Amino acid sequence: MNEQYSYSVMENSLVSNLIPVQPNPDFIQNLGKRLLGSSNIYIEDRNHSLAFVLISLGLFIGAFIVWLFRKHG
């Protein structure tokens, strides 16, 4: 009974203290504009092909240099 009472007091306190807040209307408006005006702007995943080409090229050049040193060394 006592526990029930304590829960009920706490629930009432939660109801009266957790009041929904009003966000800044400018923020809501600006975000809406940004979202709906951004149909052509997407944050795309990085293009990995360039990184792949560069790493491959680096490895190839490295291997070529090693080969050159071995050949002339």
CA–CA separation, 26 and 31 (whole Å): 8
Q: Minimum CB separation from other proteins for residue 5, in Å? A: 11
CA–CA separation, 50 and 54 (whole Å): 6
- Contact footprint for other proteins (CB under 8 A): 6-7, 10-11, 13-15, 17-24, 27-28, 31-32, 34-36, 38-39, 42-43
Nearer to other proteins, 38 or 56 (CB): 38
Identify the residue whose tokens are 């009003």.
22
Nearer to other proteins, 27 or 69 (CB): 27
CA–CA separation, 25 and 33 (whole Å): 12
Nearer to other proteins, 31 or 59 (CB): 31
